[in-house]
Structure 1
Amino acid sequence: MAIKQWRTFLMPYQQAVEELKIKFKSIRREFKFKNEYSPIEFVTGRVKEVASILEKVKKFNISMDRIEFELEDIAGIRIMCQFVDDIMKVVNIIRKRKDLTILYEKDYITNVKESGYRSYHIIIKYPVNLSIGCKEIISEIQIRTLGMNFWATAEHSLNYKYKQHIPGNLKTKLKQAADTVYKLDELMTQIKDEIRDAQRLFDVKSHIVSNITDALTSLISLGGIKEFTNYQIQLTTLIEIGDINQLNSLLLKIQRDIDKYKKF
């Protein structure tokens, strides 16, 4: 296949990746908008490089005219979660979607690979609307924790270096590392409520600080230069050592001064 043919072939896969990334990022934004915890931490995606496609075609003896039917991961989406139990929440979100069809699922968290690899894979069929009509693309969605992703990235790099033949002693250390990562994930899950409370507190504080900054901008535009300087000093102190109630109190003071200047 010539370069131009490859570009044409891969174009719908690129479109599928971009659309799916936007949709899953939107789910995260929806949770945040409703001030709810999002099981999706962040989303990435990629289309397989031609060299990687050809390598896999050779490895599995796939004929060129069967690539789009037998290679499931030409288009790949990766969804990262903070905690292990978030993974199934994301899986259930995907299962309920009407804009894609799940072909099958592979649970490498319950059924850990011999190497130590853990992740949840969902193979989907996703319709892409092109100028010539609708084309269904087979894509792979991987759902894993940040720790699992760190380990998988390291293993992928080593497999690339050693051409899929990682030395035995290195394999043993990798397996030990994978088990350690999973133990850490389990420990973090046990304190997830504390972590989520801390994150919510941070989000609320950040929102109030943003409102204060906007209010200060309005105040100085109305001529309250002296008050602005005083409040700016207070804000700097409260960001470091203040609590939410103190920040809210400062915001109310600024808003009262804004109302006072508007009356002049």
Structure 2
Amino acid sequence: MYTVNLKQTLIPYGQAVEELKLKFKALRQSFIANEEYSPIEFVTGRVKKVASIIDKAKRKNIPFDKIEELIEDIAGIRIMCQFEEDINTVISLIKQRHKKDLFVIKERDYITNMKPSGYKSYHIIIRYPIQTPQGEKQILAEIQIRTLAMNFWATIEHSLRYKYKQNMPADIQNRLNKAAMAAYKLDEEMAQIREEVLKSQKGFVEEATVIGDIFNNIQNLADKHTAENMNGIYETFWKLWEENDINKLKEFDKNLLHSLSEK
């Protein structure tokens, strides 16, 4: 009977996960729309399964009527970053929302204080208001922030821990520890080339924007010219495309805009 009631209880938690995912995905898109580097690479979320909630309640001796109060990760979202340095930026972005659309309750830094298993991540527990047919409901949710390398390791570790429960074989644990150090080294190496990566990404975004503008302007010109008149424009564009010179492409785009303004 209680399991059925718990399923009903979880409905607003699903709503919270979807709303939080949408907000942080929109934040990522706002960076991209402004042609800025986004510290958020992607966002996922989930609601803990009933069996997992009951299992955790039993392990921690949490009464069923205290589950919503004492289990803080029933609703959870995960924000992945390219670089470890981005994690602090995301933490700051979350704290800026404190008392606006969420409330930061506590933080757990498993990056500075890595778990013995090798687990690294930054956790923020928030209280999040949900509007339900019965009125506003304040629920607890967990936001995990980690790099792609940290997430890869944690996903594998979670699957193995689920398989072996509390009886992880020593050789598997040793390999996991080595893999954790490899993930740590990867993040270190990525930090060393961060500026080069960011320059490359910025250049790609800039080129994509210019190419998009050129195609749009060519299409507008094509609506006003015959195909024969457009042949020279097409040939010039493909030549510049092959040269891959962003400055020449920008100049070509300006000329297209000038041609459009004359019509």
TM-score in terms of structure 1 length: 0.90
* CA 1:256–1:67: 2 relative to 1, 3 Å: same
* CA 1:168–1:233: 2 relative to 1, 3 Å: farther
Which among 98, 109, 112 is matched to residue 110 of structure 1? Answer: 112
Give the whole-Å Cα distance in 2 for the aligned partners of 1:226 and 1:83.
Answer: 50
Instruction: Please list, as runs of the form range in 1=range in 2, the aligned pairs for 1:78-93 lying within 5 A after superposition.
Output: 78-93=78-93
CA contact (8 A) 2:3 2:50 kept: no
Which residue type is aligned with residue 157 of structure 2? E
* CA 1:170–1:220: 2 relative to 1, 3 Å: same
Q: Counterpart of 1:23?
A: 23
Higher deviation after alignment, 157-166 or 201-210: 157-166
Alpha-carbon shift at residue 241 of structure 1 (Å): 4.0
Q: Counterpart of 1:33?
A: 33
Alpha-carbon shift at residue 33 of structure 1 (Å): 3.2
User: 1:193 and 2:195 equivalent?
Assistant: yes
Give the whole-Å Cα distance in 2 for the aligned partners of 1:232 and 1:152.
Answer: 50
Structure 1: any 5+ residue segments left out of the alignment? none
* CA 1:12–1:237: 2 relative to 1, 3 Å: farther
Higher deviation after alignment, 196-205 or 17-26: 17-26
Between the two proteins, what is the percent identity of the paired residues? 49
Alpha-carbon shift at residue 242 of structure 1 (Å): 0.8
Structure 2: any 5+ residue segments left out of the alignment? none
* CA 1:226–1:47: 2 relative to 1, 3 Å: farther
Give CA-to-partner distance per residue, 1:59-97, whole Å, 9 cap, x none.
223222111111111100111111111111211221221
Give the whole-Å Cα distance in 1 for the aligned partners of 2:234 and 2:5.
Answer: 60
User: 1:171 and 2:189 equivalent?
Assistant: no
Give the whole-Å Cα distance in 2 for the aligned partners of 1:118 and 1:63.
Answer: 30
Which among 148, 151, 160 is matched to residue 150 of structure 2? Answer: 148
Which among 216, 219, 223 is matched to residue 217 of structure 1? Answer: 219
Q: Counterpart of 2:9?
A: 9
CA contact (8 A) 2:214 2:253 kept: yes
CA contact (8 A) 2:48 2:75 kept: yes
Give CA-to-partner distance per residue, 1:215-255, whole Å, 9 cap, x none.
12222222342354544454455445412112112223433
Q: Counterpart of 2:134?
A: 132
TM-score in terms of structure 2 length: 0.91
Q: CA RMSD in A?
A: 2.0
Give CA-to-partner distance per residue, 1:186-234, whole Å, 9 cap, x none.
1211221111111111111011111112112222222342354544454
Which residue type is aligned with residue 41 of structure 1? E
Give the whole-Å Cα distance in 2 for the aligned partners of 1:81 and 1:28.
Answer: 11
SS at match of 2:146: strand
* CA 1:158–1:255: 2 relative to 1, 3 Å: same
Give the whole-Å Cα distance in 1 for the aligned partners of 2:150 and 2:215.
Answer: 38
* CA 1:250–1:169: 2 relative to 1, 3 Å: same
Q: Counterpart of 1:76?
A: 76
Q: Counterpart of 2:123?
A: 121
Which residue type is aligned with residue 157 of structure 1? S
Which among 203, 206, 227 is matched to residue 205 of structure 2? Answer: 203
CA contact (8 A) 1:222 1:258 kept: no
Alpha-carbon shift at residue 104 of structure 1 (Å): 1.0
* CA 1:50–1:252: 2 relative to 1, 3 Å: same
SS at match of 1:117: coil
